[in-house]
Structure 1
Protein backbone atom coordinates (compact mmCIF):
# COMPACT_ATOMS: atom_id res chain seq x y z
CA UNK A 1 0.00 0.00 0.00
CA UNK A 2 1.33 3.45 -0.86
CA UNK A 3 1.78 5.45 2.33
CA UNK A 4 3.61 8.52 1.03
CA UNK A 5 2.05 9.90 -2.14
CA UNK A 6 4.68 12.59 -2.62
CA UNK A 7 7.52 10.04 -2.83
CA UNK A 8 5.42 7.02 -3.80
CA UNK A 9 6.68 4.97 -0.83
CA UNK A 10 4.95 1.79 0.23
CA UNK A 11 4.53 0.41 3.72
CA UNK A 12 6.82 -2.50 2.75
CA UNK A 13 9.63 -0.11 1.79
CA UNK A 14 9.21 1.84 5.02
CA UNK A 15 9.18 -1.33 7.15
CA UNK A 16 12.29 -2.70 5.45
CA UNK A 17 14.20 0.57 5.89
CA UNK A 18 13.20 0.78 9.58
CA UNK A 19 14.37 -2.81 10.20
CA UNK A 20 17.67 -2.14 8.44
CA UNK A 21 18.30 1.05 10.43
CA UNK A 22 17.52 -0.68 13.72
CA UNK A 23 19.70 -3.70 13.03
CA UNK A 24 22.55 -1.89 11.30
CA UNK A 25 25.98 -1.35 12.87
CA UNK A 26 25.19 2.31 13.66
CA UNK A 27 21.81 1.49 15.28
CA UNK A 28 20.44 4.97 14.60
CA UNK A 29 17.25 6.25 16.19
CA UNK A 30 14.52 5.28 13.76
CA UNK A 31 12.64 8.45 12.88
CA UNK A 32 10.61 9.30 9.79
CA UNK A 33 13.47 11.52 8.62
CA UNK A 34 16.03 8.74 9.06
CA UNK A 35 13.82 6.30 7.17
CA UNK A 36 13.27 8.74 4.30
CA UNK A 37 17.03 9.44 4.10
CA UNK A 38 17.76 5.70 4.07
CA UNK A 39 15.44 5.42 1.08
CA UNK A 40 17.09 8.38 -0.66
CA UNK A 41 13.98 10.54 -0.27
CA UNK A 42 12.95 13.72 1.54
CA UNK A 43 9.65 14.30 3.31
CA UNK A 44 7.67 16.87 1.38
CA UNK A 45 4.23 17.74 2.74
CA UNK A 46 4.43 15.54 5.87
CA UNK A 47 0.79 14.47 5.76
CA UNK A 48 1.89 10.82 5.71
CA UNK A 49 3.71 11.05 9.06
CA UNK A 50 0.63 10.06 11.06
CA UNK A 51 0.75 6.75 9.16
CA UNK A 52 4.54 6.46 8.78
CA UNK A 53 5.31 6.76 12.50
CA UNK A 54 3.27 3.73 13.67
CA UNK A 55 4.60 1.65 10.75
CA UNK A 56 8.26 2.30 11.51
CA UNK A 57 7.77 1.88 15.26
CA UNK A 58 6.17 -1.53 14.72
CA UNK A 59 9.32 -2.61 12.89
CA UNK A 60 11.88 -0.87 15.09
CA UNK A 61 10.51 -0.13 18.57
CA UNK A 62 12.70 2.25 20.55
CA UNK A 63 13.23 -0.21 23.41
CA UNK A 64 13.81 -3.28 21.25
CA UNK A 65 16.38 -5.49 22.92
CA UNK A 66 16.88 -3.21 25.91
CA UNK A 67 14.15 -4.35 28.29
CA UNK A 68 14.81 -7.12 30.82
CA UNK A 69 13.33 -10.55 30.19
CA UNK A 70 10.11 -11.45 32.00
CA UNK A 71 10.78 -12.19 35.65
CA UNK A 72 14.30 -10.75 35.48
CA UNK A 73 15.23 -8.13 38.03
CA UNK A 74 16.98 -4.92 37.04
CA UNK A 75 18.51 -4.53 40.53
CA UNK A 76 22.19 -5.34 40.90
CA UNK A 77 22.82 -6.68 44.35
Structure 2
Protein backbone atom coordinates (compact mmCIF):
# COMPACT_ATOMS: atom_id res chain seq x y z
CA UNK A 1 0.00 0.00 0.00
CA UNK A 2 1.30 3.48 -0.82
CA UNK A 3 1.84 5.54 2.33
CA UNK A 4 3.55 8.61 0.83
CA UNK A 5 1.80 9.66 -2.35
CA UNK A 6 4.23 12.54 -3.05
CA UNK A 7 7.24 10.20 -3.25
CA UNK A 8 5.33 6.96 -3.94
CA UNK A 9 6.71 5.14 -0.89
CA UNK A 10 5.02 1.92 0.17
CA UNK A 11 4.43 0.48 3.60
CA UNK A 12 6.87 -2.33 2.73
CA UNK A 13 9.64 0.19 2.05
CA UNK A 14 8.89 1.99 5.32
CA UNK A 15 8.85 -1.29 7.28
CA UNK A 16 12.18 -2.35 5.80
CA UNK A 17 13.78 1.03 6.50
CA UNK A 18 12.39 1.04 10.04
CA UNK A 19 13.72 -2.47 10.66
CA UNK A 20 17.18 -1.57 9.37
CA UNK A 21 17.29 1.59 11.48
CA UNK A 22 15.91 -0.13 14.61
CA UNK A 23 18.43 -2.96 14.33
CA UNK A 24 21.28 -0.46 14.45
CA UNK A 25 22.68 -0.74 18.01
CA UNK A 26 23.02 3.04 18.23
CA UNK A 27 19.57 3.74 16.83
CA UNK A 28 16.25 4.04 18.53
CA UNK A 29 12.82 4.35 17.04
CA UNK A 30 13.36 6.33 13.83
CA UNK A 31 11.52 9.53 13.01
CA UNK A 32 9.73 10.08 9.69
CA UNK A 33 12.66 12.29 8.66
CA UNK A 34 15.11 9.46 9.37
CA UNK A 35 12.96 7.10 7.27
CA UNK A 36 12.95 9.54 4.35
CA UNK A 37 16.73 10.05 4.57
CA UNK A 38 17.32 6.29 4.76
CA UNK A 39 15.21 5.79 1.63
CA UNK A 40 16.88 8.69 -0.19
CA UNK A 41 13.81 10.93 -0.32
CA UNK A 42 12.77 14.25 1.14
CA UNK A 43 9.32 14.85 2.63
CA UNK A 44 7.12 17.15 0.58
CA UNK A 45 3.69 17.80 2.12
CA UNK A 46 4.09 15.83 5.37
CA UNK A 47 0.59 14.40 5.16
CA UNK A 48 1.96 10.88 5.49
CA UNK A 49 3.85 11.45 8.77
CA UNK A 50 1.05 10.08 10.97
CA UNK A 51 0.87 6.89 8.91
CA UNK A 52 4.65 6.54 8.83
CA UNK A 53 4.81 6.88 12.61
CA UNK A 54 2.20 4.12 13.02
CA UNK A 55 4.10 1.78 10.69
CA UNK A 56 7.45 2.57 12.33
CA UNK A 57 6.21 1.96 15.87
CA UNK A 58 4.59 -1.34 14.84
CA UNK A 59 7.82 -2.43 13.15
CA UNK A 60 9.92 -1.30 16.14
CA UNK A 61 7.77 -3.48 18.41
CA UNK A 62 8.26 -6.41 16.04
CA UNK A 63 12.04 -5.90 16.05
CA UNK A 64 11.96 -5.76 19.83
CA UNK A 65 9.93 -9.00 19.99
CA UNK A 66 12.23 -10.70 17.48
CA UNK A 67 15.31 -9.80 19.49
CA UNK A 68 13.76 -11.02 22.74
CA UNK A 69 14.07 -7.74 24.59
TM-score range relative to shorter protein? 0.7 to 0.9
Report the structure, 1 or 2, having the larger helix content.
2
Name the larger-Rg structure. 1
Which piece of structure 1 moves more, 21-30 or 33-42?
21-30
Q: Within 5 Å, give how 1:1-77 maps onto structure 2.
A: 1-61=1-61, 64=64
Structure 2, unaligned runs of 5 or more: none
Q: 2:48 & 2:28 partners in 1: Cα distance?
A: 21
Q: Could you tell me the TM-score, scaled by structure 1's length?
A: 0.73
Q: 1:60, CA displacement in angstroms?
A: 1.5
Q: Deviations over 1:33-53 (max 9, x none)?
A: 001100000110000112111
8 Å Cα contact 2:29-2:56 kept in structure 1: no
Q: 1:5, CA displacement in angstroms?
A: 0.5
Q: Could you tell me the TM-score, scaled by structure 2's length?
A: 0.81
Where has structure 1 moved over 6 Å in runs of 4 or more? none
8 Å Cα contact 2:29-2:57 kept in structure 1: no
Size of the aligned set, in residue pairs, is: 64
Structure 1, unaligned runs of 5 or more: 70-77
CA RMSD, aligned part only?
Answer: 1.8
